[in-house]
Amino acid sequence: MAISSILFDLDGTLLDTADDLGAALNHVLAKYQFKPLTADEYKQHASNGSVALLKAGFGEHWDTLPQANLKTEFLDYYQNNIAVYTRYYPSIERLLQTLNEQGIPWGIVTNKPTYLTLPLLTHFALLKESVSVVCGDTLTVAKPSAEPILLACEQIGIIADKCLYLGDAQRDIEAGQNAGMKTAIASWGYIPKNLDLSTWNADLVFTDAQQLINHI
In a structure prediction context, what are the per-residue pLDDT tens digits for the chain, which is 216 residues long?
677 899 999 999 999 999 999 999 999 999 999 999 999 999 989 988 899 999 999 999 999 999 999 999 999 999 999 999 999 999 999 999 999 999 999 999 999 999 999 999 999 999 999 999 999 999 999 999 999 999 999 999 999 999 999 999 999 999 999 999 999 999 999 998 889 999 999 999 999 999 999 988
Question: How many other C-beta atoms lie within 10 A of the C-beta of residue 204?
Answer: 15
- The confidence score (pLDDT) of residue 1 equals 60
Catalytic site residues? Answer: 9, 11
Residue 164 host element (H or E): strand 163-167
0.85 exceeded by pTM: yes
Question: How many other C-beta atoms lie within 10 A of the C-beta of residue 51?
Answer: 14
Compute the distance between CA of residue 112 and CA of residue 124 in angstroms, rounded to an integer: 16
Compute the distance between CA of residue 2 and CA of residue 164 in angstroms, rounded to an integer: 9
- Can you tell me whether residue 87 is helix, strand or coil? strand
Residue 114 host element (H or E): helix 114-121
- The confidence score (pLDDT) of residue 193 equals 83
Sequence-ordered list of residues with C-beta below 8 angstroms from that of 75, at least 6 positions apart, any chain: 24, 50, 116
Sequence-ordered list of residues with C-beta below 8 angstroms from that of 108, at least 6 positions apart, any chain: 7, 8, 9, 10, 14, 117, 121, 127, 130, 132, 133, 134, 152
**C-alpha to C-alpha distances, 167 to 43, 55, 71, 205, nearest whole angstrom:** 15, 23, 25, 10
- The confidence score (pLDDT) of residue 11 equals 96
**CATH class of the 5-16+86-215 domain in this structure:** alpha beta
